[in-house]
Structure 1
């Protein structure tokens, strides 16, 4: 076992490490080798109650601090994490598998949420005005909502946590985090850093568990909890919304995606390929923002496919700890098998395989960069998230048709458009039923921007100014003086 990951494997409750009520532990694997990295404590209901008590005890003092005081703690967290990016990147690679460049990119992105919300903490602006009819003073202010339960996925073990922790703390709320069982180590390793930054005991609690459904459901039925923030599949999100309804909790849901990437005939093909590589292969395609359906105008389809395939072919597959590796393993066996099944289904239905498509022999959950062309609408990968390094290319000729096809999904997280005609580009962006659109860009994620989707891709926004408001309640006072 790697000694660097053995230090923080217990539950973190009330500023202290504890083994958990049952003493049970679960294995965390290195997806590149299938070796056991660590045995992590599995939280039970009693541990959830202890975390609730700790968060409740910490709430009033933290909420009572001035915005500037909260801001300074978050700023210190950014400074500390920025100084330790290599440590966090290595840990991310060990438990998630992503290549070193991706892991360092995530660590940098994760740290930036602390800096952004350090700045936003002092900007929960309210309003004082006159009511036009009554003449009363209207006073509007934003107050911390209360304890927030944060449920994070395995694909970004650092960033999906900090994207929720930072705005919650900026707003004045305590949090209880349930990280994904595949990747709990990064979030646990963040806790000593937050202590050093000045986060009070009990304000942030971490409950890894192999009994996630039961544990989270219990948390969401405690009257002290007022917010639930979840990133993950739409199916799980629906279940959490049902649980949240019983207590009328404030939900923030960042759910699944099925992102279209549209390349028009006037696009700069080299720029489109570069953007498509970023949109598809960032994080190995294991992202809800990953380009899932490629729609390329038939006039440039061959040129795009050749250049894109050549770029994919240059990527080196291997253990992400190797600095020369571009593509690490998928997170687990189930994901690997699902990706392989998508490819086999598409080929069986008539798609042409231009690159990859074969499971490598040996240990680890690897899958090669794969390019499919002539993918039919009946292929499963057109209707579901691939969550792997597979590009499914189709063609189009008519703008109205491609907009219709792009919108023909229950998801609405992100879309990508490439064209040199900015008027057409903006018109198409406005017609796409997605919460975010990358116009001539393969990357939309930014702590300063409101991240989120429409339809079955979620509720609310993370990042930007809106991200902090998800953890606040608006209070209106009608006054006469």
Structure 2
């Protein structure tokens, strides 16, 4: 039997009972490792994290915790080659896509280390200035934020086993809150290896970083008041989490990132061959193919003026036709596999569902895979669907309601900008929309019109053609999350991310007492 990955709880490595669940190479079909959380004493593990790990972290200042994050970066950088090999084997990603995950994690950790260092020797965050509570400034109120004395439980998705951990853990650890991560089973190997390397390096205090691989059964039952829960996954699972008895009974603070039908919108003045038109085509193709379209932020719907719909379909299809798909170990391959055969079946089913209201404009599945057996490999080549009239775009409810988590997008025309904005908002709340054009006033107006229904609006004009960070790239400086069906959550956004791991309180006292509070660095 293959290796059974160990869990880490209560300050020690622990094997789950039973044979465990196997993880597979999604291209070759080989079994890689197994995971099991069966029989773990979760109550003991959570208590150790809260009381031992939490106390040790809170005894440090923000500056000291930032220094720990920088040490974590150094540990992970030393093992990067191993992480790349695991990612290729377990996630089926080409090297460039592995970099999005692994290097994105390192970059985010490094950013929070730098931001935390600027907080220096503070042990709380001052929220605004003191205000008087009467006519005289004798008695005042000062709002502060202090680390929550609980644990941060992360239940993560399969698509970013590296970044998905560290984009959450960086602000949590900087805040002084211990972490328990439950990675998605299909790609848990990379998360487990990273946690293993950091723990074995002795960088963090015992109990500060913990991992449970396998079933999530019992994890929510172990939550207590002051704990926080961050979940990335489907809207259906998110609804179950919000209604869980322990979450409701203890008023556990929850952050959700769920389904998202992200959009790309080309403004009316753009014409075929214009810089804005070409930028949209380039970004759509990139978003459809990076990580085989398995990104929560990937473009799913593309809105263009009716007059350029045909030209856009032709231009996007021509670029997609050049994308080679197959075994990521082959240097000729540009796009690797989905993470599993189950995900492969889900994507094909989703495409069939959308095809009842949209026709296929480009079908990459007609091209043979490179160095991969289609009967074994979880590879799906890019497919561009299309709806060819504004009236049909309004009627295509499946296109606006179904997220296919793979290399699939739908091209839709619009009559005017008002209709385009209304169609974008049919997504019921998304993580990101990108807007392409050249008129600054029109771009700004559209960005504001879409802001209420999106966590991020990415505006691309010719002057930032080579400088913008990309529609789907989540940068730690900007907010990540979205309203409505996207989950209503908020992550990152610089030091705003620390809000989730802190409790705000108003300290009402005489001026000298407030002055004696340890200053923010």
- Tell me what 1:18 maps to: 14
The structure 1 residue matched to 2:260, chosen from 257, 261, 269, is 257
Secondary structure at 1:82's aligned position in 2? helix
- Tell me what 1:238 maps to: 239
Deviation at 1:29, TM superposition (A): 1.0
- Tell me what 1:75 maps to: 70
**8 Å contact from structure 1 (residues 100, 322) kept in 2:** no
- Tell me what 1:388 maps to: 406
Partner Cα distance (2:473, 2:187) in 1: 24
Partner Cα distance (2:102, 2:21) in 1: 25
Please give the residue correspondences for 1:96-245 in structure 2 after superposition, counting only pairs within 5 Å.
Answer: 96-122=91-117, 123=119, 125-126=125-126, 127-131=128-132, 133=134, 135=137, 136-145=139-148, 146-195=150-199, 196=201, 198-210=203-215, 212=216, 214-220=217-223, 222-223=224-225, 226-243=227-244, 244-245=247-248
Q: Does 1:326 align with 2:334?
A: yes
Partner Cα distance (1:371, 1:25) in 2: 39
Deviation at 1:468, TM superposition (A): 1.6
Q: Deviations over 1:121-174 (max 9, x none)?
A: 354641442325353232222211121111111010111110111111000011
Partner Cα distance (2:207, 2:360) in 1: 55
- Tell me what 2:455 maps to: 435
Partner Cα distance (1:449, 1:413) in 2: 12
- Tell me what 1:93 maps to: 88
**8 Å contact from structure 2 (residues 357, 399) kept in 1:** no
Partner Cα distance (2:268, 2:77) in 1: 42
- Tell me what 2:23 maps to: 28
- Tell me what 1:53 maps to: 47
User: In the comparison of the two structures, how many residue pairs are matched?
Assistant: 471
Q: TM-score, normalised by structure 1?
A: 0.92
Q: Does 1:454 align with 2:455?
A: no
The structure 1 residue matched to 2:314, chosen from 306, 310, 313, is 306
Q: TM-score, normalised by structure 2?
A: 0.85
CA root-mean-square deviation: 2.2
Q: Deviations over 1:235-284 (max 9, x none)?
A: 11121112222210111112210112111243422211112223332221
Secondary structure at 1:215's aligned position in 2? coil
Q: Deviations over 1:175-215 (max 9, x none)?
A: 111110111111111123323261112111101123x2x32
Partner Cα distance (1:260, 1:116) in 2: 28
Q: Deviations over 1:440-462 (max 9, x none)?
A: 15234101212110112123421
Pick which of 296-305 and 383-392 moved more.
Answer: 296-305
The structure 2 residue matched to 1:277, chosen from 261, 285, 296, is 285
Segments of 5+ residues of structure 2 without an aligned counterpart are 271-275, 461-469, 513-521
**8 Å contact from structure 1 (residues 352, 374) kept in 2:** no
The structure 1 residue matched to 2:385, chosen from 358, 372, 391, is 372
Larger-gyration structure (1/2): 2
**8 Å contact from structure 1 (residues 92, 158) kept in 2:** no
Q: Structure 1 residues 141, 370: CA separation in 2 closer, same or farther (over 3 Å shift)?
A: same
Partner Cα distance (2:21, 2:251) in 1: 33
Deviation at 1:392, TM superposition (A): 1.1
Partner Cα distance (1:345, 1:191) in 2: 39
Segments of 5+ residues of structure 1 without an aligned counterpart are none
- Tell me what 2:516 maps to: none
Q: Structure 1 residues 456, 368: CA separation in 2 closer, same or farther (over 3 Å shift)?
A: same
Partner Cα distance (1:281, 1:379) in 2: 25
**8 Å contact from structure 1 (residues 438, 444) kept in 2:** no
**8 Å contact from structure 1 (residues 175, 203) kept in 2:** yes
**8 Å contact from structure 1 (residues 354, 373) kept in 2:** no
Partner Cα distance (1:280, 1:425) in 2: 23
The structure 2 residue matched to 1:315, chosen from 318, 323, 329, is 323
Partner Cα distance (1:346, 1:65) in 2: 53
Partner Cα distance (2:306, 2:488) in 1: 36
